[in-house]
Amino acid sequence: MINYETSQYQLAWQNNINLDYGSLVLLYDYLKEEIDTTNVYDKDKRQIMVS
């Protein structure tokens, strides 16, 4: 029998700054996924960051 336990952690941040000549938008996004299983895989987690 193969057992799986997965986890996902996510963080998103956005800051809007109004300026005299327009606006500035700052963004950050983070995603981490993990798997714990009795089956064998090459990788057990991955991270994605966008800024």
| pLDDT (tens digit per residue) in 4-26 | 888 999 999 999 999 999 999 99
Please say if the pLDDT value at position 27 is more than 80.
Answer: yes
Q: How far apart are CA 24 and CA 16, in angstroms?
A: 6
pLDDT at 51: 67
Average pLDDT over every residue of 23-46: 84
Question: Would you give the DSSP letter of residue 21?
Answer: T
Q: What predicted TM-score, i.e. pTM, was given to this entire model?
A: 0.60
Please say if the pLDDT value at position 38 is more than 70.
Answer: yes
Q: Which helix (H) or strand (E) holds 18?
A: strand 4-19
